[in-house]
Amino acid sequence: MDSYLLIESRDALESSDVATYFYDLAAGLAREGSPVTLFLVQNGVFPARRGAQTAALNAVARAGVEILADEFSLRERGIPTDRLDPCVVSAPIDVVIDRLVQGRKALWH
């Protein structure tokens, strides 16, 4: 079975297709049984804050998607890790390389 790494760099408020397309894609792949990691980077980390559009991310997490937020992007935007929604974990960008080495198919949005 294929496994996936989906990288989201845009804030759901700046681009409407983030939640309606990319989050839905991640959840759909996970529901079909594929291992999926959604890696939030750049402005894509804004929805990871507790109380900031987390309903969409919580739905993705309930589908079985691992949700990670780039620790550098969080620091750049002044978002402390203790303000992240519980479904999101701070992670170094090295995770992207690790997942690619594992053979995950990557999509960047």
pLDDT, mean of residues 18-28: 88
Residues listed for the chain? 109
Nearest to 22 by CA among 67, 74, 79, 85: 67
pLDDT at 53: 66
In angstroms, rounded to a whole number, what is the distance separating the alpha carbons of residues 34 and 48?
23
Residue whose pair of structure tokens reads 């992007």 in the numeric block: 73
Greater model confidence, 68 or 16: 68
* Range(s) of the domain holding residue 17: 4-108
Number of domains in the chain: 1
Specify whether the CB–CB gap between 99 and 4 falls below 8 A.
no
Q: Check which CATH number belongs to the domain holding 99 and give it.
A: 3.40.1260.10
Of the chain, the percentage scoring pLDDT greater than 70 comes to 98
